[in-house]
Structure 1
Amino acid sequence: MQLPTIPKFDRLTKAHKYSAAGIAAAGVGVLAITGVTGTGGTAQASGKAAEPAAERARSVAAEQHASHAAHVAHRKVLAKQHAAHVAHQAVVRKRQAQERARKAADEARRQERQAANRSHERKALVPQQRQENSRSAPRAAAPQAPAAPSGTPQQMAQQIIGDAAQFQCFSNIVMHESTWNPYAVNPSSGAYGLVQALPGAKMASAGADWRTNPATQIKWGLDYMNGRYGSPCGAWSFWQANHWY
């Protein structure tokens, strides 16, 4: 580095020359030190400026992570709520089905009781009506006993029942129960005959020949349907709903 020229330096004494040279050297040293110090200050400033940027990056990353975690937790809550709703709906549907079944069973029992009551009332009125007719009607010759039914079991049933509509209902039941076979036996329950009486010995009330005589079985079956359901058509309606009578 070239030192600065001091005017009239040659005219100075030796002591003055030494002092000027020292001052110049000191100035150079100060400049050098100042330059070094300035460079170091710039580096420190750059480092301090980088620290807030890194901190902001970490803060943004933390916020993003927290937001993602909150979103995942919210979806889990929604999934649990949906599962609980589905389970609740299943319970409600099950209870509704049970309630419908209970009401249907109650209605069937109610209809059965009504039919039994009507049959009981009719049976109670028949002897009274006969007695009144007997007192009021003039004495007449005893009617001849009707001829015994004959022909196929279907023909016998037509002769015994008389009413075409009631015969058809009676026939529908017998067709499903035994296909008009007077010897039909249910292997699981033991029900017997055209109307599948259970046990078959019940039909003995209509005749001792209940095992072999279709007419006896038809008479017993007709009495049973009239007594329990009011008529063969009443029994057929119940059979259609329950597949038994």
Structure 2
Amino acid sequence: MLQKIKSLWMASAVAAATILGVATAGPSMAQTGQSHTQASPAQASTPEEARALAKEIVPAGNELACFNMLVTAVTNGTWDVQYKGYTNPGGYGLGQLQERQYAPFGSDWEDNAAPQIHGTVDYAEDRYGSVCGALGFYQANLWY
């Protein structure tokens, strides 16, 4: 049953990525051996800058499409790096995570999308195996 749900969810993620014009092939950071040990030097604070930076940091394909859907959902569509509106107590920014998930990627995590993007991807891959795994869990539970 779980495998069927995962299969249906992945099909919906691929369909959404196709509609959004996002490529649907590409490995996760874990699959490519890349890591999030350092944040990008780029400073991004507006929603537009955060979206552009995500395209540079998050692997293309399903992972990028899933990241975009996850951030859009948890920030209520704002992509605001200072967003605090999610139900997670202490949740902050793009991933609605806590300081401990963002801080290793930059001391300016409170107003810079780069550490938030790295922290969100790192958290998703560590806890759910991939960003798409985190999105699937979020869609099923409305939290992750």
Contact 1:206–1:219 under 8 Å retained in 2: yes
- Equivalent residues in 2 for 1:58-97, closer than 5 Å: none
Which residue is equivalent to 1:191?
91
CA distance in 2, matches of 1:171, 1:163: 11
CA distance in 2, matches of 1:149, 1:157: 12
Equivalent of 2:62 in 144, 162, 165: 165
- The CA deviation at 1:165 is 1.6
Return the structure number with greater relative CO, CA threshold 8 A, min gap 6.
Answer: 2
- Equivalent residues in 2 for 1:39-118, closer than 5 Å: none
CA distance in 2, matches of 1:213, 1:193: 9
**Aligned length in residues:** 103
> Residue 187 and residue 239 in structure 1: after superposition, are their counterparts in 2 closer, same or farther (change >3 A)?
closer
Contact 1:177–1:196 under 8 Å retained in 2: yes
CA deviation profile, 1:33-71 (whole Å, cap 9, x unmatched):
xxxxxxxxxxxxxxxxxxxxxxxxxxxxxxxxxxxxxxx
- Equivalent residues in 2 for 1:194-209, closer than 5 Å: 194-197=94-97, 199-209=98-108
User: Is 1:213 the equivalent of 2:109?
Assistant: no
- The CA deviation at 1:236 is 1.0
Which residue is equivalent to 1:139?
none
**Runs of 4+ deviating beyond 4 Å:** none
- The CA deviation at 1:187 is 7.3
Q: TM-score, normalised by structure 1?
A: 0.38
> Residue 235 and residue 225 in structure 1: after superposition, are their counterparts in 2 closer, same or farther (change >3 A)?
same
Structure 2: segments with no counterpart, 5+ residues: 3-29, 34-39
Contact 1:193–1:200 under 8 Å retained in 2: no
CA distance in 2, matches of 1:206, 1:243: 26
Q: Which amino acid aligns with 1:238?
A: F
- The CA deviation at 1:235 is 0.9
> Residue 233 and residue 202 in structure 1: after superposition, are their counterparts in 2 closer, same or farther (change >3 A)?
closer
CA distance in 1, matches of 2:58, 2:64: 6
* Structure with greater Cα Rg: 1
CA distance in 1, matches of 2:80, 2:43: 17
Q: TM-score, normalised by structure 2?
A: 0.62
Q: Which amino acid aligns with 1:195?
A: G
Q: Which amino acid aligns with 1:221?
A: T
Contact 1:149–1:160 under 8 Å retained in 2: no
Contact 1:149–1:159 under 8 Å retained in 2: no
Structure 1: segments with no counterpart, 5+ residues: 1-103, 105-121, 127-145
Q: Which amino acid aligns with 1:205?
A: P
User: Is 1:243 the equivalent of 2:137?
Assistant: no
- Equivalent residues in 2 for 1:15-26, closer than 5 Å: none
- The CA deviation at 1:211 is 0.3
Contact 2:101–2:120 under 8 Å retained in 1: no
Which residue is equivalent to 1:153?
50
> Residue 174 and residue 187 in structure 1: after superposition, are their counterparts in 2 closer, same or farther (change >3 A)?
closer
